[in-house]
Structure formats: C-alpha cells, structure tokens
Structure 1
Amino acid sequence: MKVYLLILSLFFCGISFAQNTITGSVTDSKNESIPGANIIVVGDQSGASADFDGSFTLKTDVKPPFTIKVSAVGYQSKTINVTSASQKISVVLSDEENKLDEIVVSASRTPERVIESPVTIERMGIQEIRNTTAPTFYDGLENLKEVHFNTSSISFKSINTRGFASVANTRFMQLVDGMDNSSPALNFVLGNLIGVSDIDVANVELLPGASSALYGANAFNGILFMNSKSPFTNEGISTYFKYGQTNQDAAGTNDYVDFGLRAAKAFTKHFAMKANFTFTRATEWIAADQRSMTGGSVGHANNQNYDGLNLYGDEVTTFISNVGQVSRTGYREQDLTDNKVKNIKGDFSFHFKPWANDTEIIAQYKVGLGSTIYQGANRYALKDFIMQQGKIEVKGKNFFARVYATTEDAGNSYDMRFAAWNVNRAAKSDTEWFTNYATAYQLSGAVMGTNATESAAIARNYADYNKLPAALVPLPQFATAPTGKPRFEPGSAQFNQALAKVVANPDLTQGAKFIDQSKLYHSDVNYNFKDMVDFAEIQVGGSWRKYIMNSDGTIFTDYDGPIDYKEYGAYTQLTKKLLDDRLKFTGSVRYDKSQNFDGNLSPRLSLVYSAGESKRHNFRVSYQTGFRNPTTQDQYIGLDLGPFALIGSAEENLDRFQETQPVSPAGQALPGNGATVNLSGRNAYENAYTVASVQAFGASGNTADLQVANIGLVKPEEVQAFEVGYRSVVQNDLSIDINAYYNIYNDFMNTARVISPYYGTAGTDSTDPAVQLSYAALALGDRRVYQVYTNTTAEISSLGFGVGLSKKVYKDFELGVNYNYAQFDFDQSEDPSFIAGFNTPKHRIKGSIGNSNVTKNLGFNLNVRWNTEYLWQSSFGDGMIPENTVLDAQVNYAFPKLKSVLKVGATNLFGKDYLQVIGAGAIGQQWFASWTINP
C-alpha cells in the first residue's frame, strides 16, 4: 500500500515540463462524439486518445507547425495541420464500414488488417468494451463468436473455444500485456482474477484455433490477448463504481460491488507511469445440486448409499453384511464455505522511451488476491490466495524482448470434500460410525420388526446422534454409550470450531488445506527483419520457461522439496505478398522441447487471397499444428482423494509417490502378507486392472472378465488443424465472416481409472500363483483405485463451422447474428475407458442489436445467446447440460460536462437459473448500475 501511495503522489506532484498542449475534439458527420479515437503526431512518439465525449488533450515537445493524424475504428483517417499551440482543433471523421480493416497483431505477431488474417480472429475494442451488456468486459467475451464459457464461480469463468475444455482449461492460453497469467501449479487461467481493469483495457484479441507455431505448447485450442492502455497516450485519473444485485434460487438476492481506479501520467515524452486498483465483492452462485452420484433416490431417507453431487462427506462408504452399501451423512457445500467472492487487483508500471525512436522499456508489477471457487476433481474454496507477476520488457517497431516471473500462494485455500470428511471424523471415526449403523440397523429389524427403510432411518439417527427408539435402549449392545460425539450441525459452535481446525490443517488424513507456493519464470524474444529484407517479411523468435512446484507434498510429490523442470522453443515465420498484393502467403515453423519429453515441430502454412476490384472479398485457407505438453499435474501430482488417488506419470514420479494401506483380516491370513502394504505410483501404472473389468469380475466371479490396464506414461498431445474462411463487406455495410475447421488429434491426453491389487501380480494367466494372489486381493476388497494420466490410442477428430453477419439496419442501429456448429468423433471401441470431455454444445446462436447514439449521449445494447443441450464430462461429475437461452441488456447515458457515463444493465434478463458446469452453481440473474468518470 505504501508503494501505491508513493506512486499516486507522483501523479499529483506539481512537476511541470516544457511541453506544448493541444486540445480538441473528434466527432462524426452527425456531430456525435467518437470515444477512443487515436491522435498521433506524425513523425514523433507523442499521442493521445479521445475520451468518451470525443475530447482529447495532446502533449508534445514538438513545436508547431506539425501534423497530427486522427483515426478511429469505423471511420476514415484524417490528417490535420497544427500551426499554433493555442489552436483549438475540431476533427470530423467520415463513416467507413471497416471493421475488417481493424489492425490486429496476434494472428501473425505483426500488425495486419483483420481481413488479411490467415486464421479466424475475434476482436473487442474500446467501443465494444463500452457497449458490453455484461458487468465486466471479460464477462462480455461470452458474446463473441466461437466463445463458450464454463462458469465455476461468479468470478471464475473459463473460456472454451472448439471444445475439449473443462473448468481447468489447460488447452487455452491467456496473455495479459504479453504475460501468460496461468497458474504456475495448475497450468490454467483463473479467469480475470489477475488481469486487466475495465478502464485500463485497450483491446482484446482472440484466436480460437491452434496457435502453437508461434506461441508454443499451450496455445492448443485457442489463445486470448488482453492489452492495456499506454500512459503515454491515455493520461489522467479515471474511476468507476458499480453496484448491483445477484439473484439465484439457492443463494437468494445479494449485493454486488465493483470499484476501479486508474492513474496515468506522461511526465515527459521519455517517461510515464501508470497504476490501477480494482475491488470486487459478491455472493457466490451457490452449488446446490443434490442429484445422487450413486444412483437411486435423492436423500438418505430412501437411499442408504446416497452421495449427493454438492454434498460432501457422503462419499465415505462401506459395505455392511446383511445391510448393503452405506454412506455417511454429508454436508452441503454452502455449509462448508461462506459463499463470498472477493477479488482485489493492482498493478503499476514504469515506461521509458530513452531515444527518439519508438523503443520503449517497461517495468511492470501485477498482483491479484481474493477468494473464489474452483472445480477440479473436487470443489476447492480458494481463500485469500495471492498471485503476482513482475515483468521487464524492451520493445520497438520490429522487436520485443521480455522476461517475467509468476508466483502464487494458495493462502487459506482448502478442499471442501476433505473438509466434510474430516469434520465428520472429528465427531466420530468412520469405523465407529459404521459399527453404530450396522448394530442399530440389524437390531431394529430383529427387535422391532422394522422394514429396511425404517431400519436405515433408525441406524442413521443412532450413528449420527447416538439416539435410539425406546425399545432398543435397554439392549446390552447399547448399554455403553458411543465414544464419539454427535454429528456437528452446520452453524453450531462445535461445527464452526471443527471446520476452522480442519481447513487450517494440510494433513489430508485430518485436514483439508492445500499449500501452493509454486513459481514460473519465462522469457521470450522476437525480431522482425521487414526493414532489413525486401523480398519478404521474416521473423524469428524464441522462448524459455521454468516451472518450480512447491506444495509441501499437499498436491505434488514434492515431500522432500520443490520440483522443477524447464521448456524452451524457437520459431521463424515468412510472409510474402504476390499477384499485385492479392495473394498473401504465410509460413512458419516452431520447435519446442520440454525437459521430460522429446521435441515437437509445429508448422503452419496459410494463403489469403483478396478478390474483387477493391480487394474486399478475402478467402483464406490454412494448415497448422498444435501440441500441448503434459501439465505439472499430469506429471507430478500425487494426491490421495480418499476413494482414489491421482498419480502423475513422470517416470520419477512413479517412485516419488508412496503410501501405506491396511490389509483386510482375511488378506493378512494369506501367505506373505502383513497388516499393511506399501504401494507406489508403479502399482497404478504397472500392476493394475481396468475398472470395468473389475466391476464385471465382481458381478460374475469369473476371472476371465479381468483385463490388465496397459497404461503408458503420458506424452505431449498433437493436433492437425485445417481451416478455410471468407471475410467481406458487401452492399457497403453488410459484414460477413465465415469459417470452417477440421481437427485431427493424436496422442490425446486422457485420464483413466484403474484398480491395483494390494498383493499379487495383475495378469490373465490363471495358473500363475502371483496372478491368483491378485484375484484373491480383488475378491477381498484389498485393492486401490487410482486415476492415472496417459494418452488415448484412439484417433479423435472434431469439426465445426461458424457464420457471422452484422449490418446497420436503420440509421445507426447495428444488428449482428452468428451461428456456430461443433462436434467431435472417435471410435469408443478403440479405447473403451476414454472420456472425451468435449463439453461444448453442438449448436449455438448469438444475436445483438444496439445503437450507441439513439439520441444525443444515449445508447443501448442487447445480446441474446442460445445453445442446445450437451454432455458434460469431468473428473468431478458427468451429466447433461440443458438447453438454455440468455438475454443481456444495457442502457448508457453520457454526461459530457461531468466527463462521465452512467450505465444500467442486467444479465439473464427474464431467465431462470441455468447451468454451464455439472457440479458448479446454477447461474442466476445479475443487474448492475455503473458510473464511470474518464476525464
């Protein structure tokens, strides 16, 4: 905080510089302001950006006369001669439907028009950010073509493009000012929890396909670029305040607050500074899905083995002779967390332009902290987490070089499933609870003649609360009261004390806390030789990365200290225009090598042809490859989740993971066995049967049903992506964007469940004594379930296409509609245990209508989204996501004299709660009012 105060004080200090200050305004032919218009001094670095009412202030050391260039998306650029510092400049720009002429950088790492991009690209600029119907610009990305959200929390939303994505979307990359803001330990993006503020974002670019040829390993199914404003061109102090309410069936109505402050100052043309601060507070979309994960009825009243999806503790289950399978009583998710979401983001940066050219040196620091919910194999309450990034970057017209570090601290985060298990065990051990249940169940039927349902109710009441019907109290079996305490009721002092103790303990046999202080170091460089080579534009670049996993053994097998490994890559690209600049060829190739795997080559070839007299009909075709290295979890996780354990498949990890399990009394009687058995990760990968075959064996007793699980160690997955597209503007203002793709995946990464016997050797030779011993282990229940990481042998393909249209239908009313189709295909018989996890609707339609100038200073926008139902698959739970339609809307009004805009909006207007993720909270309604001051 002291650092922030120091920086802010610098912005307000009374230092003055010998600069010329030019003021003016930018409007269109209807005298409406053009916010975000760019003003630059021709031949100099000086520049400015028009605020929301079109006014601007330009400071420059250049003395008049000089020339400025004024440009804005959707308008023809204009140059103006400035003859004196006191000259009041009024610029009128003519309309031009040139959305496809917007300049993007991400597709080819060089500035190019959208219409010339070799691949599909989506863009959100200042005007679209201002007009979004969502509470934040990041939430508004959901209205872009090709984008589908997987919402784990009101503040944690994962972007899904082209499928195969869960909440932990490790196939998607997100860069903020060039920095990958994925979690170092978990390797996926935490939404915008450490990103860009609404008032600091300059533009957003999205590539929905494979981009490994330029961006490396994790740009597999898409990449998002968020770029912030420069303090040289966007000065001043800006702020916003949002207040609203959320409404959900499970959570009710709750307040939503969001505040942001931005301060930027160019002290000279050589030095500028910027700082941002945002604070958000809300109530979670409560996860309250009670469907039974074990089949049967909902609730223990009619299902003694009930395991509710969002109830935890009832996963602890055992088989009781003459009773059946029985589970403990669980706790609701909302009982195990306060359901409050908080996010604080801050950043500051120093910008130097030491020479007369455009070279800039940037030193930047970013921090994000708060609380949210993350869903992986379990549901995790991320409490008081903190993630930090620091960067040094040097960039110029044709190059950049940057190095940055990302660190994270899980704070007081914990696993809610383990929290429930161990709060239950704090009251009564599992052994005592199930013994109490079995005793009361059997005696109630024998003594009182109760049926199975009534006996189950009596047994659960006794196991939970030590209470019995009067007829059973005199029995000698109940003469001694149970040593365990009654079940802790949510909200009671005993429950709160037990929960506080459990979530502070990182030993998962007694607690639920996980520790994560992992780090990531990254550097990358790029140089464009376009000013040195005439026949083509040639780029070269490379990157280096180091992961350091540090979980103190609570996530990874780093019991004896942090684990680290490295990756590096290099690429080159050639771009050449032919046939009177109508044909644009782009070819690139990248080589990447990870410490634990063989290297990968990723080529990309594309052709863009511009037809028509004005070159407005643009056809493109591309072939590119992508690959993804196994994540840190895929390689080094070693996490005991109770019913099963997650085991990473790095060769050294198989020996790093060690555990001890108790052998059944019958198993101890077998030759060579003891009371316990020591297991390692090699049991999971080298001595196991498939889950399906063990289930079949359990039902039939026939050992011929058993199949050995042949699990290979995980290796990088690859995709070959073919894409065609067409972009154009016809009839002056009808924009068309059509694309289709076909992807072929090889060595697709997969998780599988296997069952390893405690003793014996997994095999099919029934005459082998060691194999016979494994059969006995399975029959006696002396077995361990593991979830392992590997690659499927099946060939998987996906295809899709999209159509986007936009047109001004009446005056300045803009109508847009887009449609996306997506599907995947593979032969299940090639890999019966493969779980695709495509998690994407086959059909999606999005529409919008808006007008930023309905009347002077008044604008509105409306978005609607519809998708068909689809299957959700993940390690937490599977199920169908129903079809849903969502309507969002906003109205905004500008107050030029106050330099401010008032916006009122609502999401899921008139709709019911809807799901995007099985296991996460249903998404309710949210309305908000925001006041933005941007002088």
Structure 2
Amino acid sequence: MNLKLYLFLFFICLKSFSQTEIHQKTQDSIKKEELNEIVITASRRSEKIMRSPISIEQLKSAEAKNMGSPSIYEALENVKGVQIITPSLGFKVINTRGFANSTNVRFAQLVDGIDNQAPHLGAPIANALGANDLDIDKIEIIPGTAAALYGMNAINGLANIQTKNPFEYQGISIQQLTGINHVGNIDRFSPKLYSQFNLRFAKAFNEKFAFKINASTTGGTDWVADDRTDLAPKANASTNLYGADNPAYDEVNGYGNESANRKTLNLNGKNYVVARTGYRETDISDYDIKNYKADVGFYFRPKKGNELAVTYKTALINTIYQRSNRFRLDNYTLNQFSVDYHTPIFQVKAYATTENTGDSYNMRSLAENMDRAYKSDDKWFADYSTAYKNAVTNGASVADAHKIARTSSDQGRFEPGTAAYEEKKNELVNINNWDIGAALRVKSTLVHGEGLINWDKAFSSFFNKIEAKLLSGFDYREYIIVPDGNYFINPVNASENLTYQKTGAFTQLTKDFFKEKLRLGATIRMDKADYFDTKFTPQFTAVYSPKETLSFRASYQNGYRFPSIFEGFSNVNSGGVKRVGGLRIMSDGIFENSYTKASIDKFQSQVNSDVNTLGLTQAQAIEKNKNTIQKNPYTYLEPEFVKSFEFGFKAITLNKNLLIDADFYYNSYKNFIAQVEASIPNTTDLGKIPTALYSKNTQNRYRLWTNSKSKIYNYGASLGLKYRIDEIFTALTNLTYTKLDRTDDKDGLEDGFNTPEFNVNGTLMAQNIWKNLGASATARYQTNFDYVSFLVSGTVPAYWSMDAQVNYYFKKTGLTTKLGGTNILNKPYTSILGGPSIGGLYYLSLVWETK
C-alpha cells in the first residue's frame, strides 16, 4: 500500500512540476490520434479503425515504448482482451477469449501477413521468428475468430505484427537492454543478469531500391518451475497413506513418477500403488536462455504503389517450452524465405518455413529413462517389494517401511550434478525413442502461397457508382514432415516424407448506405484439407456510424480449425504409452477395440480398495468391478467448429479527449480436438479382458487425438478507455470479462477454458514532464481460474502486479534511456499450472538511433 501511495504522490509532483515549468503546448486530441488511424488486419484492406466491422485492437510502437514492459510483444499484456501466459521467460503465448494453453493452435500470429508458426506444432514459438522491437511499427490483434478471411485456424484470434518499411524508416538503430531477475531469494537462483541486444539498419538507395537488416540476441536465466503439489494424493487412500507417506507421490514439476511409472504391489496382503522416484525439474533442467534471430529484406518499387519485398528470417532457440510435457529446446532452428508483390489492385505472396528441433529433448522422458538406465522397472519394483517386507519384519511401520524400501531400491541411482549423471543424460537426450530416450528430432517445412485482388480497384468506376467494394483471395498450404521413426512416421511409405495440404478461397463484399453511415459486409470462404470434406465459412458484418466520433458494429461468423500435423499424424513412444494421431490413416482399428483409461483407472482403484478394505482376493475384486470398464466411444478426427456473435461500439467524447471501446461476444464450439487415453487388452477373450486391463503388462496403452462430444458455450465483454488528461498525462484502462457459460453432453475431453473471469489493467503515462522526460506505471489484476491440461489440472491463483518505467530522450545524441521493471514488487505468481514462478525483472534500456 505504501508503494501505491508513493507512486501516486510521485505523479502528482511530476504533474505540478511540469505545469510550472512547461509552456502550454498544442494538445493532440484523441480525435487526431484515433479517428484517422488506419488498420488493415480486420478486413485485409486499409480502413479507419473507427469503422472496423469487427473488434480490432492496436498497439503502436511509440505507445508500447512508454510502458513498463521490456518489449513491445510483452506490452500486449496491457491490450484490451489479451491474455498472456508465460511457460518460460523466453516463451510467452498470446490468447484471446478463452481456451488458452501453452501451445495455442487456435490463435494465429503473423508478421507482415506471413505466418510465423513452427510447422509441426501449428503454432508460433512466441516471437522467436518475429520482428525485434526496433523494427516493429505496430501490432494489430483480432480478438475472436478470423477464419473467414484468413482460414489458418484462427478461431480464437489473430495477431499481425507490422514492421517498418525501409523506404519510410531509414537509418541505424541499436538497443541494449540489461536487466536482473531472481531477486530476493524467490527460487534457487541468486540474482541473474538478463540481456537483450537489438540492431536495425535500413537504407533506401533511391525511390526504387531499399533494404534492411535486423538482428537480435537474448540471454539470461529462466524462471523456475518447482510446484511440488501431489498429483496422486488419493492413490493410497485406502491404506491411509497421504502426503510425504504416499508411495505414489507425483509432484507437478517432478518427472518420472507419473501414472506410466507406477505399479500396484501386493505387499503383506495389501495393495499399494507405488511410483518410481523420478527427478525434479530444478535438478535436471538447464535454465539458460540463449535466443538469436535475424532477418534481411530487399525492396523494389517499380512504380508508385507497387512494391516487391524479398525477405529471409532465421532464428536459433535455446529455452524451455511447455506442452503436455516440459521440453528443453536446444539448438532449435527456424528459417523462413518469403516473396511479396503488391499493387493497389492485387497482391501475391509466397513463403516457406523450415524447422529443425536440433538437440531438444523431453524432460519427462529424460527423468523416467534416467531411472530405468540404472535399474529396469521390473527389477526396481521387485527390490522394493523385498525391502518393504524385510523392513516390516524388522518392526518398521507401514509408512517407514515404504521409505526404507525406496531408499534401498534407489541405490545406484544417477544423481544430478555428478559426472555419471551428465554422461548418461548426454546419451539419453540423443536417443530418439521416448521409451528408452528423450530426444525431440523433427524436421519439417511449411510452404504457403496466397493472392488477393481488389475488384473495386480494378473496376473503380463501376464500384464507385454502386458504393461497394469487392475483395477476393485464395491460399494454398502444404506441410512436409521428414519421418524420424519416433515422433512421425509415414504410414503409407516409410521412405517418403509425410505431406498434408490445404487450399482455401474467399470473397468479401461490402457496400455503403445512407451517405456512408451504414456499411454492410458479407464474406464466404471455402477450405479443403487432405482427409476432410470441403468446409464453408460465412461472415456477416454491419457498421453504423451516425457521426465521425461514434460507430456501432455487429457481426456473425463461423470458423473451422483443421488438425495440426502433430494432432493428425503423431506417432510417439512415451513411457510405454503410444501417442497416436487421430486420422484413420494413423490409428485405424484402435478406437474400435480399446477401453478408456478413465474407466480402467477407476476399475483398478476399486479393485485395490476392495482388496484392502473388504478382504477380497484380487480375482474376486476384479470380478466384482469388471463392469466399470467402458469401451472407447470416440472415433477419428474432424475439424473443430465455432459460431461467433459479436456486438461493439467506439465513441470519442469529453471534448474529444476520451476514447471508449466496448465489445460483447457469444461463442459456441463443438468437436474440440482433444486427447483420450485408452488401452487394448492383449486378449480377445471377453472373460479375460478385465484381468488383462488390471495390469499394465498385459495391455497396449494409447493416447489418441480425437474430438470431444461436448458442446461448449462461452461469452464475454471488454471495455477499454483512453483519456488524455492534458498535454502530458494519458490514462489507459482495460477491463475484460470472460465466462464459460455451459457445457452440454460433458464427456471430460472438452478443452480447459483456462482463462480468468476478470482481467483488468490500468496505465498512467506521462510524456515531456520536463524537457524529454517521460514515465509510466501499470497495475494489473486477474482472478483465479481453473486450469486443465495433460500435464496438470487445478486452480491458478489470482494475482496482481505492477510495472513502471522512466525514460529520457537525449535529442542531440539520438539516445533514449529507459529504466524500468515488471512485477516491480517482486511478488511471485504463476500464469499456468506446471509453469514457472514469475518474479520481478528490472532493467535499463539504451536505444541509439540515427536517421
């Protein structure tokens, strides 16, 4: 509370000082800034933001630099309706309107209209292949489905990072940002340095030729994930073993003690669920961040309005990545080559992105196979049983006997930090089979081509006469995967690459009525992907602007999301469980002949309970509970589908100093792509199936991509206010409300909503307080929310945090200094379960520019 008071008094003093020292300047009204602002992402054509037919948010580089965030990308957390989750310091994920996860395949991310996803994931690795801060002009975000115009699985939203054109922005820019995190003993690290270096050089030789070069490096020590919550707290409830006494103890950020690493042991007449010991992430992970990216572009303007851009981007990534497991990305590379030619009438674009996962590895697989490397599961559990019985014979209590048995069985185990451990780790992270190793070895390519034609520009006299605009477009995309024998195989021909293709086309018509006060629009899109029927996506929009400073908008649209490469074609051996893509070509016969893991787990738990509490034999308990086992009701993959309704308005009022932007939406989803775990018993004898499914050794276990049978409805609203107090001070505030309405036909596979109900942030910015001195402070708060994932499920606690910065521009030298911090109170919080605890980051940024 004292810090809040100090900040308030600080800004009051600044305001008083500035009003005394600074002569009155011409006030830039909200009208000047907002009414004439042009956006392109909402309709794929230039239009004023006030007349956008759907909600669109915008963060300009100049505004982001006056916020406490160290980068423009991270400043998106202050934008209305945007949720950012942080699986690691070097990897942040953008989402809007619910159903967030650490691999957000429902939210597309573009740079100058070019998708920057990692092909095999179907989603970007944060801003790894994106633009650096010095080259970003602005970022436009569509919160909500953008499938009708983009068709690239953007059913939750889309971000388009727009860079600076070298014809308009020339010169050299250099930034060095040096910071410090891990302050105050919040985790196992003492304070560590964080560094980011950015370079931009752009030159136009004349009116026709220009080029630019960008480079960026980021280094530091990642936030630590060390959640020790037990994920199997009731595994031994029937024997009253809980907490530290639970022999099936499974920490969130401990790996190698999950369900695949557990076994039911009958010890002295009682059934106990026992897990192997595993390793904590803090003991085995490399938390160093070393990320690099660069790009070069050549630009040619044969005549006014026409431009050819040829660009090449590359990125090298060394950080932590979170999916259903936590991964260490080492020497992970992305490369992209693109060609873009546009005129006022048409645009054609083609690009190719290649991905090589390098020396990356799965931390869970590393942990469980590190355990197996010194002693097999069968040997370890046999030793455990013997040691337990000996301990009980010698008078130990049940809880103590389990601890003695674990200590005895773990003798000879590889200990982190030893030479033997490092040698074995280096061996395992290079074995491309997660049953015995941990390597992630994927090579993939994405090839994309698209075109747009503005019919109203080609036939301007006709379309001007009818006051209408017509835009058409097409796109083609192909994914090419090199089979590695573990992660991906070609089920048809093992010696050939795996391919997956999609084509699409759309037409958009807009027409003005009533002297351009009403604009109606309609879009129809067609998409065809391999293995699926053609899908049609309509969009209908209306914008009513009774005057320049007020507009109302409404829209209805559908959206489809086709399975990613991983969801459709994966073939992963992982701890005795085969993760299989949901296309029939990959999983033919498995759905029809398997039983759900959820029912098998319940069956095994009831058998153990009846043995322990009722004194039944194992055979009797199996017979008693066999009807608990359920056949797998799911089948092969279909695309996801969403219907979305949206209403909103923008208004400028209070002498044109206050901008109000509000929206409300309602969505319904079906066919969520999700995972189901199921097993096929190693017998076809109906009478023997229950016994086979009681033991892991007599069943084949699968994790299958399929569609949830649930229908899910959610709604929400957001309100953004921007108020220019005077020529120096501007206040921004955003309130986002996101609600899961209901779920029909619940089947347990529906994706986690994973979104706080309320998210609010507020920023006070000051410019030219004294000469070129500026400052800002931001506070944000979000409520707690339920988080569901394959790694962990539970509740993410509510948190609030503050960012702040002061900056000064030295006009003579072209140097801008910025001293700031995020989470300046250093109160650790988590944005997702299984992810790291995030503390304060304090930094000094120096930017030198010449023009």
Q: How does 1:626-705 map to 2 (within 5 A)?
A: 626-642=559-575, 644-654=577-587, 682-683=589-590, 685-698=591-604, 699=606, 701-705=624-628
Residue 259 of structure 1 corresponds to 197
Residue 370 of structure 1 corresponds to 317
Identity among equivalent positions (%) equals 34
Q: How does 1:149-188 map to 2 (within 5 A)?
A: 149-188=84-123
1:749 maps to 2:673: yes
C-alpha displacement of 1:649: 1.3
Residue 700 of structure 2 corresponds to 784
Q: Distance in 2 between matches of 1:396 and 1:33?
A: 40
Q: How does 1:100-111 map to 2 (within 5 A)?
A: 100-111=35-46
C-alpha displacement of 1:810: 4.3
Q: How does 1:36-185 map to 2 (within 5 A)?
A: 96-185=31-120
Q: Distance in 2 between matches of 1:779 and 1:425?
A: 23
C-alpha displacement of 1:812: 2.2
Residue 89 of structure 1 corresponds to none
1:876 maps to 2:791: yes
Residue range with higher mean Cα deviation, 140-149 or 770-779? 770-779
Q: Could you list the per-position Cα deviations for residues 21-79 of structure 1 after superposition, in whole angstroms to 9, with x for gaps in the alignment?
A: xxxxxxxxx89999xxxxxxxxxxxxxxxxxxxxxxxxxxxxxxxxxxxxxxx95xxxx
C-alpha displacement of 1:299: 10
Q: Distance in 1 between matches of 2:430 and 2:596?
A: 36
Specify which of 728, 736, 748 is matched with residue 820 of structure 1: 736
Contact 1:622 1:723 in 2 (8 A): yes
TM-score (norm 1): 0.82
1:361 maps to 2:294: no
Contact 2:103 2:123 in 1 (8 A): yes
1:319 maps to 2:264: yes
Residue 711 of structure 1 corresponds to 634
Contact 1:514 1:551 in 2 (8 A): no
Q: How does 1:839-918 map to 2 (within 5 A)?
A: 839-918=754-833
Q: Distance in 2 between matches of 1:860 and 1:358?
A: 39
Q: Could you list the per-position Cα deviations for residues 76-121 of structure 1 after superposition, in whole angstroms to 9, with x for gaps in the alignment?
A: xxxxxxxxxxxxxxxxxx8844324310001111111111001111
Q: Distance in 2 between matches of 1:432 and 1:706?
A: 30
C-alpha displacement of 1:695: 3.5
1:303 maps to 2:246: yes
SS at match of 1:435: helix
Residue range with higher mean Cα deviation, 500-509 or 258-267? 500-509
1:528 maps to 2:528: no
SS at match of 2:835: coil
| Pair 1:631–1:31, CA change in 2 (3 A) | farther
Q: Distance in 1 between matches of 2:844 and 2:120?
A: 37
Specify which of 343, 347, 358 is matched with residue 396 of structure 1: 343
Contact 1:118 1:621 in 2 (8 A): yes
1:331 maps to 2:247: no
Contact 2:233 2:242 in 1 (8 A): no
Contact 2:35 2:549 in 1 (8 A): no
- Counterpart residue identity of residue 459, structure 1: A
- Counterpart residue identity of residue 840, structure 1: T
The runs of 5 or more residues in structure 2 that have no matched partner are 1-21, 608-623
Q: Distance in 2 between matches of 1:391 and 1:741?
A: 36
| Pair 1:615–1:231, CA change in 2 (3 A) | closer
SS at match of 2:686: helix
1:542 maps to 2:490: no
Q: Which protein shows a greater Rg?
A: 1
Residue 12 of structure 2 corresponds to none
| Pair 1:827–1:591, CA change in 2 (3 A) | same
SS at match of 2:62: helix
Residue 13 of structure 2 corresponds to none
Aligned residue pairs, count: 788
C-alpha displacement of 1:560: 4.2
Contact 1:752 1:833 in 2 (8 A): no
Q: Distance in 2 between matches of 1:408 and 1:552?
A: 13
SS at match of 2:831: coil
Contact 1:299 1:308 in 2 (8 A): no
SS at match of 2:509: strand
Residue 653 of structure 2 corresponds to 730
Q: Distance in 2 between matches of 1:312 and 1:694?
A: 22
C-alpha displacement of 1:744: 1.3
SS at match of 2:725: strand
1:553 maps to 2:459: no
- Counterpart residue identity of residue 419, structure 2: A
Contact 2:147 2:558 in 1 (8 A): yes
| Pair 1:301–1:790, CA change in 2 (3 A) | closer
Residue 5 of structure 2 corresponds to none
C-alpha displacement of 1:233: 1.0
Contact 2:736 2:760 in 1 (8 A): yes
Contact 1:301 1:453 in 2 (8 A): no
C-alpha displacement of 1:557: 2.7
C-alpha displacement of 1:885: 0.3
C-alpha displacement of 1:776: 3.3
1:425 maps to 2:372: yes
SS at match of 1:498: helix
- Counterpart residue identity of residue 353, structure 1: R
Q: Could you list the per-position Cα deviations for residues 835-869 of structure 1 after superposition, in whole angstroms to 9, with x for gaps in the alignment?
A: 33110001111111111221210011111111110
Specify which of 397, 400, 411 is matched with residue 454 of structure 1: 400
SS at match of 1:771: coil
SS at match of 1:510: coil
| Pair 1:375–1:284, CA change in 2 (3 A) | same
Contact 2:663 2:719 in 1 (8 A): yes
Q: Distance in 2 between matches of 1:166 and 1:216?
A: 20
Residue 927 of structure 1 corresponds to 842
Specify which of 523, 529, 533 is matched with residue 598 of structure 1: 533
1:622 maps to 2:533: no
Contact 2:253 2:280 in 1 (8 A): yes
C-alpha displacement of 1:538: 0.6
C-alpha displacement of 1:871: 0.5
Q: Could you list the per-position Cα deviations for residues 412-442 of structure 1 after superposition, in whole angstroms to 9, with x for gaps in the alignment?
A: 0000111112222222222222222111110
Contact 2:729 2:766 in 1 (8 A): yes
C-alpha displacement of 1:179: 1.1
The structure with more helix, counted as a fraction of residues: 2
| Pair 1:432–1:693, CA change in 2 (3 A) | closer
SS at match of 1:897: coil
Q: Distance in 2 between matches of 1:630 and 1:846?
A: 34
SS at match of 2:329: strand
C-alpha displacement of 1:507: 2.7
Q: Distance in 2 between matches of 1:290 and 1:645?
A: 27
- Counterpart residue identity of residue 442, structure 2: D
Contact 1:794 1:826 in 2 (8 A): no
Residue range with higher mean Cα deviation, 545-554 or 686-695? 686-695
Contact 2:435 2:574 in 1 (8 A): no
TM-score (norm 2): 0.90
Contact 2:286 2:328 in 1 (8 A): no
Residue range with higher mean Cα deviation, 319-328 or 794-803? 319-328
1:740 maps to 2:664: yes
Contact 1:582 1:615 in 2 (8 A): no
Which has the bigger relative contact order, CA under 8 A and spacing at least 6? Answer: 2
Contact 1:120 1:739 in 2 (8 A): yes
Q: Distance in 2 between matches of 1:244 and 1:527?
A: 47
Contact 1:131 1:861 in 2 (8 A): yes
Residue range with higher mean Cα deviation, 874-883 or 685-694? 685-694
Contact 2:256 2:276 in 1 (8 A): yes
| Pair 1:904–1:434, CA change in 2 (3 A) | same
Q: Distance in 1 between matches of 2:524 and 2:556?
A: 12
- Counterpart residue identity of residue 716, structure 2: G
Q: Distance in 2 between matches of 1:594 and 1:506?
A: 30
| Pair 1:32–1:627, CA change in 2 (3 A) | farther
C-alpha displacement of 1:645: 2.7
Residue 5 of structure 1 corresponds to none
C-alpha displacement of 1:176: 0.7
Q: How does 1:150-299 map to 2 (within 5 A)?
A: 150-247=85-182, 249-250=186-187, 251-295=189-233
SS at match of 1:775: helix
1:492 maps to 2:418: yes
